[in-house]
Amino acid sequence: MGDKAHTHPGAAGRAQAADRPTSVRNVVLVGHSGSGKTTLVEALALTAGAVNRAGRVEDGGTVSDHDEIEHRQQRSVQLSLVPVEWNGIKVNLLDTPGYADFVGELRAGLRAADAALFVVSAADGVDGSTRMVWDECAAVGMPRAIVVTHLEAARADFEEMTRVCAETFGGDDPDAVLPLYLPLRGPEGPDGHAPVTGLIGLLTRKLFDYSSGERVANEPVGDQVPLIEEARGRLIEGIISESEDETLMDRYLGGEDVDVRTLIDDAERAVARGVFFPVLAAAPAAPGARQGLGTVELLDLITGGFPTPLEHGTPQVTTLDGRPRELKPCDPDAPLVAEVVKTSSDPYVGRLSLVRVFSGTLRADQTVHVSGHGLTDRGHEDHDVDERVGALSTPFGKVQRPVSHVIAGDLACVAKLSRAETGDTLSSKDDPLVMEPWEMPDPLLPQAIEAHSKADEDKLSQGLSRLVAEDPTMRLEQNQDTHQVVLWCLGEAHADVALERLRSRYGVQVDVVPHRVSLRETFGGRASGRGRHVKQSGGHGQFAICEIEVEPLPNGSGIEFVDKVVGGAVPRQFVPSVEKGIRAQARKGVAAGHPLVDVRVTLLDGKAHSVDSSDAAFQTAGALALREAAADAKIHLLEPVAEVSVLVGDDYVGTVMSDLSGRRGRVLGTEQSPGGRTLIRAEVPEIEIGRYAVDLRSLSHGTARFSRRYVRHEPMPPQVAERVKGEARAAS
C-alpha cells in the first residue's frame, strides 16, 4: 500500500509453482459484464511482467492474435486463471464471467479464492447482481477490495463512485469503504475532459505519475496538499477504528502523528480480516507503456493486504462414510485434499482440470482417489475411483507451463483426469476423503433438444455426458413421460454456449424443440366401457370380451384395479391379463396421449372361449374397454403445479406478484428477509414458468432469484385443456 521497492518485471513476473503457502495469494475478480475485469487482469499481468508490451506471454511460447481473441471470448463466459508474480509472491488471478447465466463459474472462483476484488465501472455503477455477490462474500467473511475502472469515460466520477460504493457495500459502517488513493487528472483536452494521469497516495502523501507509461513518485504541490489532508484524515480514522490496537485511536485523537508504517500495517491487517474494504482506481496501460495506472498499487495491496491461504482455512472434510476429519490448515505435509473447481476440454491435451489444493501436495503422475460430488440429480455420476494424475501445469493464455508439484494453497491444471468432474475431491488413494460441496445454483430454464440427424444421434449421448461433466450448473434430464432430452440451464446465454460447445467441440448438431411438461389425464366422472376383441380366421382365433366401470379417485391415488366378476364369466387366469391391458393403455393415455391416473377400474363381467381366448386377447380387450369408457366420459387434463419461492428486492415485490398472478399463480404468502428483500411463495402451473428464469431477471433487473418444487398435479382450466388436446390431435 505504500511506496515499496518492486521486483523488476520479467523473470519475476513469470509465476511458477509456489514453494510455501505464505507465498501465494488467490484472488477472484467479481463484477458485471463490461466492468473491465479481463482488461484489468491483462494490465496486472503486463505490470508484473507475465506478458510483454505486445500482449505476448513471456518465455512460455507465443500466442497468435487469433488465439488471443478466441481466448478472450472464452474467458467472457468461463472462469480462467492467470498466475503472476509480484515481490516474490505468486498471485493467482481468477477472472470470472460477469453474465448472470454463468454464476456457476463465479461460485467456483469464490471457492478457489481467499479474497475478492470487486471491479466497478465508473461509467455504469454497481448492479444488483454485484451487490448480491458482495453479500455472499460478507456472509463467509471473505476479504474484499474495490477497484474503480473506466475513469477515462466522459461521465466518470471517482469521488461519486466511492460514495456509491460506501453506501452500497458499507452497510451500517460506510467508513469501512474508503479510497486509499485519489485520481490525479492532467490538463483538460479539447473536449473539456481531463484524463487521469496518476494517483495521489493518501497514506504516503505522494503522487504517482503514470503519464510516461512508467510509475514515477513525486511530492504534492500547491492546492493538492489540502485535498490530500482532508481525505487522509477520514481514511486514517477509518483504519484506526478497525485496528486491533485499542490505544491507537486515543493516541491519534490526542494529537499524535501516527507513523505511516503503522497505518499501512494496520490497514493491511484490517483488509485481511475482512473488516476494511479499500477503494482503488485502475486503468489499462497506454500503447507502448509498461504499466497500467493503479496496477502497481493494486498488486501491492494484493500481496501485502490480502490473506495467505493459511488464513483461509479448509472447507469441511469427511471420510467417505461421513465421519468428520480434522486437518491442519493448508499444510503441504498433511494428507492430500484438493478440489476440481473447473473442467474444460483442450483439443490438443484432452480434458484439463483446474484444481485448488487445500491440504498436502499434489504431484505429477501420482495416483489419487476421486470422490464424487453428490450431483447425481443433475446427470453427474458420483465417483469413487482411483485415477492417475497426468501432467501438472500453470496456465497463461493458451500456454501451459509444466510444474512437478503443487502445494497446499496453490492452483494448477491437471491433465487427463478422465473421471473427475467439477466439484470432485482428489485425495490420497490410501486415505480417501471428500470435501463438502459448494453451493451451486439450480438450473431452471429447460431446453428440449433433438439430434439434427442420425449421425448426430449416434454422438449425442457422449457429447452430452462430456458437456455436463464440465458444468455442474447444468442438469441433463431424460424425461420418461414426454420422452424428451432436456438440458436445464441458468439462462439463454448459458443454453446458447452449451449448444455451441456441443457443435464445435463434440461435433453434435442439435435442434431446439418446444419443451413439454408432464401432463396427466383422469376421468371427470363415472363411465362404463365394453372391450370386445373377437377375430376368427382360418385356424386359431382370438376371443375376449370384458366390461368395466371407471370412477375417479382423489389426487395421488394412481390406478386401482378391482375384480368383481362372478360365475367365472372371465376365467381366473385371464383377470390379470385384463388388468395388464388396462394399465398399459393407461400409460399411453386415453385423450391426449398423457398417462391416466387417479381412477378405479372395476372389472364387472365378460366372456371367454374355451379355445380362442388367450392372455393377449384379454389384454387387448381390457385396453379397448378403457378407451370406450373414455370416449363417453369427460376427461380432465391434469397439469403439474410447482411451489415457487422468489427472493426479490422490496422495490420489485408488486411487479413480481402481479406477474405471478398473470401466470395463473396463487400467492401463498410473503415474508421479510434481510437486506431489504422479500420472499414471495406461490403455487404456479409449470406450463406457465418455462421461461421464468429469463422473465424474472428482466422484471427485477437481475436482482431476484427463485426456486421451484413440484407439489402435485391438478385439473387444467377447460380452455387451456382444449387447446392442449387440439395441439395433440394436430400432431397425431
3-state secondary structure of 19: coil
* Banded model confidence at residue 487, pLDDT cuts 50, 70, 90: very high
* Banded model confidence at residue 409, pLDDT cuts 50, 70, 90: very high
Query: Could you report the per-residue pLDDT of 9-24, keeping only the tens digit for each?
Result: 444 455 666 789 999 9
**Looking up cell 467439477, which residue turns up?**
422
The span from the CA of 678 to the CA of 672, in Å, is 5
Mean pLDDT of 421-429: 91
Residue 78: the pLDDT is 80
Query: Could you report the per-residue pLDDT of 219-256, keeping only the tens digit for each?
Result: 887 777 777 888 888 999 899 988 888 888 888 888 88
The span from the CA of 566 to the CA of 564, in Å, is 6
Residue 66: the pLDDT is 33
What's the Cα-to-Cα distance from 52 to each of 14, 44, 45, rounded to whole Å? Answer: 11, 11, 9
Which pTM value belongs to this model?
0.83
Does position 379 have pLDDT exceeding 70, yes or no? Answer: no
Residue 399: the pLDDT is 74
Residue 54: the pLDDT is 47
Does position 732 have pLDDT exceeding 70, yes or no? Answer: no
Does position 360 have pLDDT exceeding 80, yes or no? Answer: yes
Domains of the chain: 11-311 (3.40.50.300), 317-435 (2.40.30.10), 450-513 (3.30.70.870), 520-633 (3.30.230.10), 637-731 (3.30.70.240)
Does position 65 have pLDDT exceeding 70, yes or no? Answer: no
Residue 604: the pLDDT is 95
Query: Could you report the per-residue pLDDT of 289-346, keeping only the tens digit for each?
Result: 778 899 999 999 999 999 999 988 788 999 988 899 988 889 999 999 999 999 887 6
* Banded model confidence at residue 511, pLDDT cuts 50, 70, 90: very high
Q: Are strands 277-281 and 144-149 parallel, antiparallel or unpaired?
A: parallel
Lowest mean pLDDT segment, chosen from 108-122, 278-292, 590-604, 682-696: 278-292
Does position 57 have pLDDT exceeding 80, yes or no? Answer: no
Query: Could you report the per-residue pLDDT of 183-202, keeping only the tens digit for each?
Result: 988 777 676 677 888 899 99
Q: C-alpha cell of 212?
A: 510516461
**Looking up cell 391434469, which residue turns up?**
638
The span from the CA of 564 to the CA of 551, in Å, is 14
The span from the CA of 237 to the CA of 229, in Å, is 12
Residue 152: the pLDDT is 85
Residue 60: the pLDDT is 40
Q: How far is CA 540 from the centre of its chain?
A: 64
Q: C-alpha cell of 356?
A: 485448488
The span from the CA of 206 to the CA of 470, in Å, is 48
How many Cβ atoms sit within 10 Å of the Cβ of residue 254?
7
Kindly state the DSSP code that residue 324 receives in the 8-state scheme: B
Mean pLDDT of 525-539: 87
Amino acid at the residue 556: G
Does position 58 have pLDDT exceeding 50, yes or no? Answer: no
3-state secondary structure of 644: strand
Does position 496 have pLDDT exceeding 90, yes or no? Answer: yes
Mean pLDDT of 511-519: 93
Helix (H) or strand (E) holding 638: strand 635-649
* Banded model confidence at residue 418, pLDDT cuts 50, 70, 90: confident
What's the Cα-to-Cα distance from 576 to each of 573, 579, 613, rounded to whole Å? Answer: 7, 5, 14
Does position 271 have pLDDT exceeding 60, yes or no? Answer: yes
Mean pLDDT of 122-133: 86
Residue 300: the pLDDT is 94
